[in-house]
Structure 1
Amino acid sequence: MDESAKLQRSLTLMSVVLFGFSFMALGTVFSTYGVAAEMSHGMVAGSYVIALCVMLFTAYSYGQMAKEFPYSGSAYTFAQKSINPYIGFLVGWSILLDYLFIPMVNYLLFGIFFSAAFPAIPSYVWILFMLILVTGVNVLGIKLANAANIILTVLIICFIVIFCVLSIQSIMHGTGTGLLFTSKPFYNPNEHFSFLIAGASLLCFSFLGFDSVTTFSEEIVNPTKNIPRAVFIITLVGGLIFIVVSYICQNVWPDYQAFKDPDSASAEIIKLVGGNFLTGAFLVIYGVGVFGSAMASQASAARVLFAMGRDGQLPKRLFGHLNKKFQTPVNNILIISLFSLLALVLSLSLVASFINFGAFLAFTFVNISVIAHYFFRRKKRSFKGTVLYFLLPLAGAVLDIWLLLNLDIHSKILGSIWLGAGIVYLVFLTKGFKRRPPEIKVTV
């Protein structure tokens, strides 16, 4: 490894967990609740339980691969080292869809939400303000980004706690079902089970970001132990928060068909239990959450580009360079920021269509990487090894493929176009597959 392009280890387990929560955006439980309630016919909590189970399989595989390859690059590195560098490149290319477009989604949401609240200020002003702020924090270094992230995540968690407390008080005073304990948010026998599955297929997207922490493998202390822990903690704790909040929302407002607008259903629930004060606080917290997610996703994307650039799969002088003063991949951060300016002209629905294709394709290959590395290369084929390194990741891969195939047609078309462009570039890079793609040399 080129020692001149080496990231500094300054992050703790808690720091990386908070980064993962920011990328995942815990507040997404509010923004997706109304639509999920319609799709699941009021069984959002049950759909989240199914989604959590699905994501835990892939989280397990990320943890196993991070133990073996504690390097920046995430799914790209895992597939490159476990399967082959050609597949590794295409996985890295695919996951860039996730990492490059999530910051853009956050900027768009911030512009839409705050321009609605303050109509005198155009949305592009809000978008540019957030983009410049996020870029500045990430350029100045991971320590500053970490400090900001701790504050942001704590604020969001505090809001969730206050919302839950006020909601429970409202329920105890007869609001909604008037019941603190009921099974209907998990499963309503009067509804078909297929509605639970439909809700889960949507809500799996709420977990996107749990994998982002593996891109910080070169900046966390004791990565072989702490990265797998962080991935598991983020997935499990995030899922439990989603389940609890959605369960409470359903009890506060049991009639999912009574929302004025499913997209803003959570705002109606928040106003019901907390009035204008809590609604105002939600506006602030929403902005905080968008900033945290944009910051974490931009930082993660920069590190994937750094790993691919350092390996020579992207121009090394541009992408594989660290700023000497800040020890951050400044070139990559600025490139992502310039790319994110497309938020000024693209629609939210179009940008969102790109994200899930890349994520689930990468998730699939991380599961396959576990099988390739442990079961076939390391020959861990005892009964325990077969369960841990074949059956569990196989289940994860099958579930991820199922989710990939169930994406909307726009996601599949746009994702396939992006993947095709990556294949064309790979043909150019390898002179028609006549030579192996450049790759970083590590001991396996």
Structure 2
Amino acid sequence: MSDATATPTRPDLERSLTLWPIVLFGIAYITPFIVLTTFGVFSAVSHGTLAASYAITTVAVLFTAASYGKMARLHPSAGSAYTYTRRVIDDRLGFMVGWATLLDYFFLPMVVWLIGTAYLTAQFPAVPGVVFLIGFIVLTTALNIVGIKLATRANLILIAFEVLILAFFVAFSLRHVIDMNGPGAILSASPFWNAGSTIGAVSAGAALTAYSFIGFDAVSTFAEEAVDPRKTIPRAIILTALVAGVIFVFVAYVVQLVHPSGHFADPDSAPLDIAKTIAGNLFGSIFLATVILAQFAAGIPIQAAGTRLMYAMGRDGVLPHRFFAYVSPRFRTPVLNLLLTGAVGFIAIALSVSTSTSFINFGAFCAFAFVNISVVVAYAKALRAGDRPNPLTWVLFPLIGLAFILWLFTHLDKAALILGGIWAIIGFCWLLALTRGFKLATPEMDLNEEAEPEPAP
């Protein structure tokens, strides 16, 4: 009998990815070069103790990464704080966490464009910064509207080149320190603590450096392509955060040795001056070109990802459907969302790198906090179900992670806290409108997830 009329089997993604290839993807997503592009701003805020700030943030992120890993094991087809909070705690709270996460996607392109503008303005001071900002916004938005296949392919090559320049930067920095002060100078505690250090400054620096880790949980998107995802994905999340943290601390330590002070003529573009100091004008030019290419290339997928999230929320009624779910008939891209994020980028004219980065971290910290809380709630539910999870890893560790995040939260830029609070109020008012004062069901994004039994913690 013929099988011609049989219902075709839905194709599944091939489960072929093992641990380290996934970790390498996570590192590429974070982009280690960011420790250089933001060095001046972050070092100035930390009063020259950026290595200490990164070390503190690494510890905080590792505890939170462990919580992400646990949630990824419970929900291997989803990898967001929005999903974890919605499933484990409450739909309404999940919406608010998703709204805070949207803050990252919505404003992250602005920060990328602002950093690139700062470097170009430092190199060409006669040109108004707004000219460079407009150039970044227009070119990136136009490419995203027309299509980004070529840029996507080029990103992998560019990331490899960034890592190469990062390695040269570290090598030249070590040589410079040894030539100036002798071999013993490379072993110093000053990048962690110096005469001008304060706990407040180190903490403020740590609150900013969390920006460098944004995306460490992105490896969870490979859950359906990973071999044994319930083990591989949690390990990959933790290893990604750990490897990134080690790179950030080491590079910050070495570069801080070259410039022990936290004072810079122009913090936004300080690494460019350091590059010229350690290896001359030629390397400085190569460094500047790498920064500009990196910021331009990074802005393309970051803007694209944010607009796709807005499209999904518009399609499912979380945001106004007519605007956010609109797709260009010609280009098949969310044109209105792209134009909106481009317009938001002009806010950068009135913001510094420090304030805008802190603003992004407001959303990230909200997500990190509720992932830790979700683990504790999952533990309580498991106890009621008769299970006995390990309280050390299911209660103590996430509470430590939560405490770190709340501590960092208090050291965010005041303007960012105000803007973040306004954003949260807008989200809550929007939720009230969508649910008619909580009389209707809370809207949810369709993540195309298959229902599956959840294992006990």
Query: By the TM > 0.5 criterion, same fold?
Result: yes
- Letter paired with 1:44: L
CA 137–71 in structure 1, closer or farther in 2 if over 3 Å, else same? farther
**What's 2:54 paired with?**
48
SS of residue in 2 equivalent to 1:179: helix
- Give the Å deviation of 1:255: 4.2
**What's 1:103 paired with?**
109
**What's 1:65 paired with?**
71
* In 1, Cα distance between equivalents of 2:51 and 2:154: 31
Q: Does 1:268 align with 2:270?
A: no
**Which of 344, 347, 350 matches 2:350?**
347
* Structure 1 outlier segments of 4+, above 6 Å: 6-11, 13-16, 139-143, 320-326, 380-383
- Give the Å deviation of 1:357: 1.7
SS of residue in 1 equivalent to 2:103: helix
Q: How does 1:62-211 map to 2 (within 5 A)?
A: 62-71=68-77, 74-118=80-124, 123-124=129-130, 126-131=132-137, 133-135=139-141, 146-175=152-181, 179-188=185-194, 195-211=201-217
Moved more, 86-95 or 402-411: 402-411
* In 2, Cα distance between equivalents of 1:380 and 1:171: 60
Conserved? CA contact 1:107–1:294, under 8 Å: yes
* In 1, Cα distance between equivalents of 2:111 and 2:386: 43
Q: CA RMSD in A?
A: 3.8
CA 425–255 in structure 1, closer or farther in 2 if over 3 Å, else same? closer
**Which of 314, 319, 334 matches 1:314?**
319
**What's 2:305 paired with?**
300
**What's 1:246 paired with?**
252
* In 2, Cα distance between equivalents of 1:312 and 1:10: 33
- Letter paired with 1:355: I
Deviations 1:31-84 (A, max 9, x none): 443344444443322222111101111122222222332446711111111111
- Give the Å deviation of 1:93: 0.7
Q: TM-score, with normalisation over the residues of structure 1?
A: 0.82
* In 1, Cα distance between equivalents of 2:290 and 2:206: 26
* In 2, Cα distance between equivalents of 1:229 and 1:146: 27
Deviations 1:112-157 (A, max 9, x none): 4324434676645544543455456656888756532211211111
- Letter paired with 2:344: L
**What's 1:419 paired with?**
424
CA 19–428 in structure 1, closer or farther in 2 if over 3 Å, else same? farther
* In 1, Cα distance between equivalents of 2:231 and 2:336: 32
* In 2, Cα distance between equivalents of 1:362 and 1:280: 38
* In 2, Cα distance between equivalents of 1:256 and 1:177: 23
**What's 1:3 paired with?**
none
* In 1, Cα distance between equivalents of 2:21 and 2:149: 9
* In 2, Cα distance between equivalents of 1:158 and 1:341: 34
- Give the Å deviation of 1:200: 2.5
- Letter paired with 1:97: L
CA 315–348 in structure 1, closer or farther in 2 if over 3 Å, else same? same
SS of residue in 2 equivalent to 1:173: helix
* In 2, Cα distance between equivalents of 1:297 and 1:101: 10
- Letter paired with 1:339: T
**What's 2:333 paired with?**
330
Unaligned runs of 5+ in 2: 1-10
* In 2, Cα distance between equivalents of 1:79 and 1:308: 17
CA 220–235 in structure 1, closer or farther in 2 if over 3 Å, else same? same
- Give the Å deviation of 1:398: 2.0
- Letter paired with 2:401: G
Conserved? CA contact 2:50–2:253, under 8 Å: yes
Q: Does 1:28 align with 2:30?
A: no
**What's 1:277 paired with?**
282
SS of residue in 2 equivalent to 1:330: coil
- Give the Å deviation of 1:23: 5.3
* In 2, Cα distance between equivalents of 1:306 and 1:218: 23
- Whichever of the two has the greater Rg, that structure is 2
- Give the Å deviation of 1:86: 0.7
Conserved? CA contact 2:107–2:345, under 8 Å: no
CA 224–324 in structure 1, closer or farther in 2 if over 3 Å, else same? farther
* In 2, Cα distance between equivalents of 1:179 and 1:172: 6
- Letter paired with 1:210: F
* In 1, Cα distance between equivalents of 2:42 and 2:115: 18
- Give the Å deviation of 1:381: 8.5
CA 320–47 in structure 1, closer or farther in 2 if over 3 Å, else same? same
Unaligned runs of 5+ in 1: 1-5
* In 2, Cα distance between equivalents of 1:225 and 1:312: 35
- Give the Å deviation of 1:101: 0.3
* In 2, Cα distance between equivalents of 1:7 and 1:136: 33
